[in-house]
Chain A
């Protein structure tokens, strides 16, 4: 399971708690049903969630919340993740036509 999916599922369960929907988790990670169940099984084995596969019940555990905190993700909501991300940084130091433009992260 990709780490990004682990984070997304934990953010989702931390935010929605007992109002989770399995089909939303599926959609969130672009999983098939069996991929989702495998992922949930694997997250349960890590001790981050309680997952009862006969009842399809899910609950984030303290270890899962600690993981989010360690990654500074504990205060992120699902709604935050659906806000448009602005990637353009506005600088106060404007450049003129004579300046040479070097893109951020430019590598020779």
Chain B
């Protein structure tokens, strides 16, 4: 077991790169796996196998991908600069964290690719006459887990998208296979001209003939029924997404919760972090007060 953990942590360090969530990976992975009792070695093996397939996106990875997305937009898709608007997911059906992640991707994309704010507009603020002068709208997101948020967002703007004939491109880092199928069915049914561009597509972790071959159902049942996982919400990820992914900002709840659950008797490999949205809220409410408060703290 020790040797396998060491080999896996070396392999994952090479794959994920180094940042504060992956430093000391060998010890972290060891503590993560050895939380499982000796008697349940098969659960340890399942977790190790899942870790091998896990994707982690550091800030450096995401920056590189945002530059790559821009290359795709300019070279592969050849979208005309003056006919393309960059936007984000917002409004109906979008949770605050979803709006936050989509907005962050958009803002970082603009900075990494030197794109002026003049090319950024919210889809809800764009009238039909404005959309008639635009060919493409490019939207960003980190993960499309179930596809429900994207579908609700596009549904709320469907009428003007269809009547103006504007094409929507959604760029995401990760999409789940089941979400892509659902979104594509929706687009076809509603006659919406949209295309999903992704860096990684993930099948459900326990999909038959994927990670666990023909034993996927047996492994899933054993994993789900394991006593230490019983108290975790969404052990198979939100809405049974069965994702294996974490980002430098946070781990989505689509990921199997054993990887992010944090309690007195369990520590996930990539615990979820709830600090950042608070800062974002405060930043919006009092955007100019940090410099003032710093000067006050220095004089006190």
Chain A residues proximal to chain B, CB less than 8 Å: 4-5, 7-8, 11, 17-24, 26-30, 33, 36, 55-57, 71, 73, 76, 78-83, 85, 87
Which B residues are in CB contact (< 8 Å) with A57? 59-60, 63
CB-nearest residue of chain A relative to B63? A56
Contact B279 A78 (CB under 8 A): yes
Can you name 23 A-B pairs with beta carbons within 8 Å? A4-B294, A8-B294, A11-B294, A18-B19, A18-B21, A19-B20, A19-B248, A19-B249, A19-B273, A22-B107, A22-B112, A24-B283, A26-B111, A29-B291, A30-B291, A56-B112, A57-B60, A73-B294, A73-B298, A81-B289, A82-B283, A85-B289, A85-B292
Contact A33 B114 (CB under 8 A): yes
CB-nearest residue of chain A relative to B278? A79
Q: From residue 262 to 291 of chain B, which have CB atoms closer than 8 A to chain A?
A: 273, 275-276, 278-279, 282-283, 286-291
Q: How far is the CB of B48 from chain A (nearest CB, A)?
A: 25
Scan B193-230; emit 1 where CB is below 8 A from any A CB, else 0.
00000000000000000000000000000000000000
Expressed in whole angstroms, the Cα–Cα distance for A82 and B294 within the complex equals 9
| Count, A-B residue pairs, CB within 8 A | 92
B78 interface residue per 8 A CB criterion: no
Interface size on B, residues (CB 8 A): 37
Contact A19 B59 (CB under 8 A): yes
Contact A27 B283 (CB under 8 A): yes
Residue of B59, B64, B249 with highest tally of chain A CB at under 10 A? B59
- Given A56-B112, A81-B290, A85-B292, output 17 extra A-B contacts at Cβ < 8 Å: A18-B58, A18-B59, A19-B248, A19-B273, A19-B276, A20-B59, A27-B283, A56-B63, A56-B111, A57-B59, A57-B63, A76-B294, A76-B297, A79-B279, A81-B293, A82-B283, A82-B289
Scan B110-132; emit 1 where CB is below 8 A from any A CB, else 0.
11101000000000000000000
Contact A23 B290 (CB under 8 A): no
Residue of B278, B294, B296, B298 with highest tally of chain A CB at under 10 A? B294
Q: A19-B249, A23-B111, A82-B279 in contact; A8/B63 too (CB < 8 A)? A: no
Which B residues are in CB contact (< 8 Å) with A7? 294
Contact B248 A18 (CB under 8 A): yes
B3 interface residue per 8 A CB criterion: no
Which A residues are in CB contact (< 8 Å) with B110? 23, 33
Contact A4 B291 (CB under 8 A): yes
Q: How far is the CB of B12 from chain A (nearest CB, A)?
A: 16
Which A residues are in CB contact (< 8 Å) with B292? 85
Expressed in whole angstroms, the Cα–Cα distance for A87 and B291 within the complex equals 15
Scan B236-280; emit 1 where CB is below 8 A from any A CB, else 0.
000000000000110000000000000000000000010110110
Contact B276 A8 (CB under 8 A): no
Contact B104 A23 (CB under 8 A): yes
Expressed in whole angstroms, the Cα–Cα distance for A5 and B108 within the complex equals 20
Expressed in whole angstroms, the Cα–Cα distance for A7 and B293 within the complex equals 12
Expressed in whole angstroms, the Cα–Cα distance for A83 and B292 within the complex equals 11
